[in-house]
Amino acid sequence: MEYDIMRNSIYCILLSKGVEFLMIHEWNVLRVAACLSIVLLHSTTEIILINGNIDNDLFQLFRVLLAYATPTFVLLSIIIIANRYRDKIPANFLITRFKFILLPFVFFAFVYALNGELNYPDYNLTGKLLKNIFIGDFTGWFVLAIFQLYLIFWLIKKRNVSTIWLIPSMFFIGLLFLTFVNNVHIANSDLKAVFRMIFPTWLAYFAVAYLIGKYYNIVINYLIKYRYITILLVLVSIGIIALNFSSGNTSGGSRRLDLLPFVISMTLMILAFGKIMPRVRLIDFMSNYAFGIYLLHRLVQFYIAPYTAKFSSLTVQVGSLFIISLLICILIIKLVSYLPFSAFMIGKIRGRATTNKNQQTDQKRLTA
């Protein structure tokens, strides 16, 4: 038990001179699972865009399940800050996230808009750029959703608001809003983008993540003890989605109401088993690149998919696009990371060798 407490302390997110270090391993496992899932989901999307819709219910259900990835990123982001800042929030909380999360979002908003300008005639570059930045009209939209939740968290801590009534209220408001979004037909694409990124859509996830993060040590001990029950919860939540799918609710996207229990149960299961699994360097490596991969992968797939879509088998088409785009993204992020101010373009690459000395100092301080 003492070893686990010490290890948790060592691998908790550390900010020293603006440098973010290695995280708790199961958080890295969850981040990597979500990252790989979203790259795989968009690999299927790109193949569909080129070859046309695939009339296979099992394949389409698989795509619906993969949509758990984006809400999981939202969930994990709040778990981390709720755990890290249980009592006090630093003065640079918003500034740090503005520099290393929101600025990369703006950078990629421009990159995606420029890509459209280069590939489509009669393209409104300025209009598209404004849409990308203000309503998240591209793959990076989830950053806007997360940043709004950061603001809510900051306000809660800054004003010392009691969460006894606030968190349950947020959960039910979020649940009602998700129900509204899922039962109202929205034809306007810009309005769809607004509802996708606006904070009420994610309040239910915020409430759950806040509680998990605040009481993480208690939660993770129960998850380890009852880890096999988390598998059962995942299977039950998949069954709910499958039943709804067979009843005609075949819509994709991350705002499906029945994704909420699936996202929560998947998160709990991955945290439980990620906690007890041996530390894997590849997981930590992939976690370092996850944010950049999320922002970049759709652009890479745009150029690769026309070639992989020519393969005869759907599995090979999707699989090859998934693997190739993933490797190219890592290579690009690695190269960009050597540029000045790269953290403002692709986010921080944690665990760089330059931080080892500072990390060792922090470890000694924590275990002293």
| Residues 250-309 pLDDT 10s | 888 899 999 999 999 999 999 999 999 999 999 999 999 999 999 999 999 999 999 999
CB 139, CB 298: distance < 8 Å? yes
- Give the mean pLDDT of the chain: 88
129 belongs to a structural domain: yes
- pLDDT per position as a tens digit, 109-160: 999 999 999 999 989 999 999 999 999 999 999 999 999 999 999 999 999 9
Measured over the CA atoms of residue 130, residue 133, residue 135 and residue 139, the dihedral's sign is: positive
276: domain range?
A: 23-349
13 belongs to a structural domain: no
298 belongs to a structural domain: yes
Share of the chain above pLDDT 70, in %: 89
- pLDDT per position as a tens digit, 333-356: 999 999 988 999 998 886 544 333
237 belongs to a structural domain: yes
Give the global pTM.
Answer: 0.88
**pLDDT-based confidence at 188, cuts 50/70/90?**
confident
Of the listed ranges 58-67, 156-165, 182-191, the one predicted with least confidence = 182-191
Q: Nearest-CA neighbor of 82 among 183, 18, 163, 139?
A: 163
- pLDDT per position as a tens digit, 23-64: 699 999 999 999 999 999 999 999 999 999 898 999 999 999
126 belongs to a structural domain: yes
| CB hemisphere CA count around 265 (13 angstroms) | 20
18 belongs to a structural domain: no
45 belongs to a structural domain: yes
Q: Measured at the alpha carbon of residue 285, what is the angle toward residues 146 and 261, in degrees to the nearest 5? A: 40
Q: Nearest-CA neighbor of 206 among 139, 268, 138, 148?
A: 148
Q: Nearest-CA neighbor of 40 among 273, 293, 313, 261?
A: 293
164 belongs to a structural domain: yes
How many Å apart are CA 197 and CA 214, to the nearest integer? 24
Q: Measured at the alpha carbon of residue 271, what is the angle toward residues 21 and 156, in degrees to the nearest 5? A: 65
Q: Measured at the alpha carbon of residue 143, what is the angle toward residues 244 and 10, in degrees to the nearest 5? A: 100
Tokens 């190219």 map to which residue? 328
In total, how many domains does the chain have?
A: 1
